[in-house]
Homo-oligomer: A and B are copies of this chain.
């Protein structure tokens, strides 16, 4: 479901686009929120066409197909925003490593945390380099806040681990 919604959102925000375009835009704008590769996107667009949520506006060079959101698609998107209680499920490998941290010795724990820290720094840099327009602004703010929190947590936990005696 969420993949559909994400695609409908993109089509609604940036106008008609091909699967290829969507895959790229996905990667550049939505990627800290949801991810999907072209192998997932192409078949989904076909299904969405069958369900009347999008339609092929035109076919260009190299078999390029431009999809456009339909009124039904907009309704689907609006309904989802209005009714869907967003799942709070988290599946975070970082958090899983955090969970298991006390099972390894201190040096190893420090090494694990330093790697996690580095990824938060990288994520933060990537997010800070993005200039989302109005579109995606709120998700960008959330992503930044989350990345900063993760970095802060890594630093605090590292400091805690390094404190000689507990």
Contact = CB atoms under 8 A, between A and B. Distances in A.
A86 B32 contact: no
A132 to B, nearest CB: 9
A92 interface: yes
Contacts of A134: 102
Contacts of A77: 100, 103
A130 interface: no
A94 interface: yes
Given A5-B100, A35-B89, A153-B145, A108 B95 contact: no
A32 B104 contact: no
Interface residues of A, number: 61
B81 A138 contact: no
B2 A93 contact: yes
B81 A104 contact: yes
A28 interface: no
B102 A81 contact: no
B2 A96 contact: yes
Given A141-B153, A153-B141, A93 B100 contact: no
Given A81-B108, A87-B93, A93-B84, A100 B9 contact: yes
27 contacts: A2-B96, A5-B96, A30-B99, A32-B95, A33-B90, A34-B95, A34-B96, A78-B104, A78-B108, A81-B100, A82-B104, A82-B108, A86-B94, A86-B115, A88-B93, A95-B143, A98-B138, A98-B139, A98-B142, A101-B139, A102-B137, A138-B157, A141-B156, A141-B157, A142-B150, A145-B149, A146-B149
